[in-house]
Structure 1
Amino acid sequence: MKDQNRYNYVLQHADNCLILGQRLAEWCGHGPVLEQDIAMTNISLDLIGQARMWYQYAAEIQGEGKSEDEIVAFRDAWDYRNVLLTEMPNGDFAQTIFRQFLYDTFSVHYYEMLMNSNEEQLAAIAAKSHKEALYHVKWSSDWVIRLGDGTEESHNRMKAAIDDLWSYAGELTKPNETEQKALEEGYGVDLAALKEKRDAQIREVLTEATLEVPESTYAHEGGKDGTHTEHLGYILSDLQFLQRAYPGQEW
């Protein structure tokens, strides 16, 4: 492989988009109202579309003639590099919203900064994806505010979602060795600078939602380096079944 670090960097973000997109897809037909059912399905499709661009570029870097489907279907859980947040269960609507909000407040700034990458193809993926991320973060932010500043029931559910998921928020902005090297070589994003922007945005939205910003800075981590929760295995068992049972099938 001509550039292992670049491959790992691309794969990491491909896996984030795929796993979160798959999670959101589980809501299809089960949303609280039709409009939001459709919204979550559309965001899921956006994320899977982003994942396809990442995987296609990963296959190009790898240079082994593999398709995006092969990269997805024939890796085991320990080979996936998504952050733990993306594999967390949907829970209720509030939990899904807050998981999405934590990811969206990362991705919108990530793509904005990645557009300055010295790698032309990464910058192009970022430019296309950023337009979608702007809608995603608006949608999830509006719902955090609507639920947090709504009824007593919706406020309490949103507070419970924050309690459950806050410890998974920090992994997104804590660089691993792959991301540090990508930054040094000019094609990656400065996660320290991104964290400042993201923290400010989270604080602003939670304040408007009449919700407290947790003081804890503890962050579960390991997903970027292949250590996952049991939840990922269940996701992959659904996601990979067809290709593993009938290799080489195409849509």
Structure 2
Amino acid sequence: MSHETHTAAPHGDHSLDSFGDAAASATRVTPGNALRPEDIALAKEVPAEEVAQYAVRLGDDALILAQRLSHWISRAPELEEDIALGNIALDVLGHARSFLAYAGHAWGKTEDDLAYWRDEDEFRSLWIVEQPNGDFGTTIARQLVVSVYQYLLYSGLTASSDPTLAAIAQKAIKEVDYHRDHAVQWTLRLGDGTEESHARMQAALTLVWPYVDEMFDDDALIDALGDAAVRPSSLRAEFERQIASVLEEATLTVPDVPRASGGGRHGEHTEHLGYILAEMQVLARKHPGATW
């Protein structure tokens, strides 16, 4: 597998719809509890324009994070981490599929259309998910931040006035709970481990922290959505409480670093997203409509 191929996909398969039985079974749940991506794609329920835009934001976060995490397959420090990070990548890919499939109904597009046929400035992902993996500690620091944020976000979204968003969140939160625990356990092990692991984990947090503030920015879309969405700023206090608790136990500190400007929600990205998309989209664009 090349550095950032289609996220954990079988070789030669560029369709998000064709991730195979493993991905389908990973997202299958009891009817009435939550929806599989396939259910959402078939339902054809058309979201309001603002809801679709919001779903794209959440789907893009998950898609780009899945792409980053998939890089660790065959490269993790130990076999168990190959499996763990690969499974987390598949989980968040499932979240991406659900959000993008739902959003696509508003514009007559499929999840594949949104994943493979948008340009860089059309993506609405946060800057933190497109940053390079760095070493294992940097990936864990990013995962800690993102999974705590997503757990709080999806918890709130289960009460969304939009039933499909609420159903997606209900499914996703169970998986993100594991992602959060995985990141916490590694943060504790590395932070309160050897002198070397402590120093590298603290350095990893310093690399990741400039991208934290963007996650909590409110804007006009959030205002327009009302109780269909979760106001990002409302998550900040609990996020800081949970992170502070973990870092204190890990003998780490919250870095004092300036904020990166951010702009992902409005199509302004770091240079890294273009490279991710170039590799992620190449097969679909080189062989449009091809199937295996």
Same fold by TM-score greater than 0.5? yes
Letter in 2 for 1:24: L
Does the residue aligned with 1:240 lie in a helix, a strand or coil?
helix
**Does the Cα contact within 8 Å between 1:148 and 1:158 map onto a contact in 2?**
yes
- Name 2:105's counterpart in structure 1: 60
In 2, distance between residues paired with 1:178 and 1:217? 26
Pick aligned residue for 1:19 from 51, 64, 75: 64
In 2, distance between residues paired with 1:117 and 1:27? 34
Shift in CA distance, 225/33, structure 1 to aligned 2, threshold 3 Å: same
Alignment deviations for residues 197-247 of structure 1 (CA, whole Å, 9 cap, x no partner): 111101100111101122446343101110001110000011101110111
**Does the Cα contact within 8 Å between 2:47 and 2:105 map onto a contact in 1?**
no
Structure 1, unpaired ranges of 5+: none
In 1, distance between residues paired with 2:77 and 2:47? 47
Higher helix share: 1
Q: Give matches, 1:84-99, under 5 Å.
A: 84-99=127-142
Q: Report the number of matched residues.
A: 247
Structure 2, unpaired ranges of 5+: 1-45
2:61 corresponds to 1:35: no
Letter in 2 for 1:165: V
Letter in 1 for 2:87: N
Letter in 2 for 1:98: A
Shift in CA distance, 150/58, structure 1 to aligned 2, threshold 3 Å: same
- Name 2:193's counterpart in structure 1: 150
Q: Give matches, 1:1-251, under 5 Å.
A: 3-62=48-107, 64=108, 66-182=109-225, 184=226, 186-216=227-257, 218-250=259-291
In 1, distance between residues paired with 2:168 and 2:143? 20
Task: List structure 1 runs of 4+ shifted beyond 3 angstroms.
Answer: none
Structure 1 residue 135 displacement after superposition:
0.3
In 1, distance between residues paired with 2:95 and 2:266? 21
In 1, distance between residues paired with 2:47 and 2:232? 25
**Does the Cα contact within 8 Å between 1:176 and 1:224 map onto a contact in 2?**
no
Structure 1 residue 173 displacement after superposition:
1.3
Shift in CA distance, 230/218, structure 1 to aligned 2, threshold 3 Å: closer
**Does the Cα contact within 8 Å between 1:14 and 1:51 map onto a contact in 2?**
yes
Does the residue aligned with 2:59 lie in a helix, a strand or coil?
helix
In 1, distance between residues paired with 2:283 and 2:256? 44
CA RMSD of aligned residues (A): 1.4
Structure 1 residue 250 displacement after superposition:
4.0
**Does the Cα contact within 8 Å between 1:13 and 1:82 map onto a contact in 2?**
yes
In 2, distance between residues paired with 1:2 and 1:126? 16
Percent identical among aligned pairs is 41
What TM-score does the superposition give when structure 2 sets the normalisation length?
0.82
Letter in 2 for 1:220: S
**Does the Cα contact within 8 Å between 1:114 and 1:189 map onto a contact in 2?**
yes
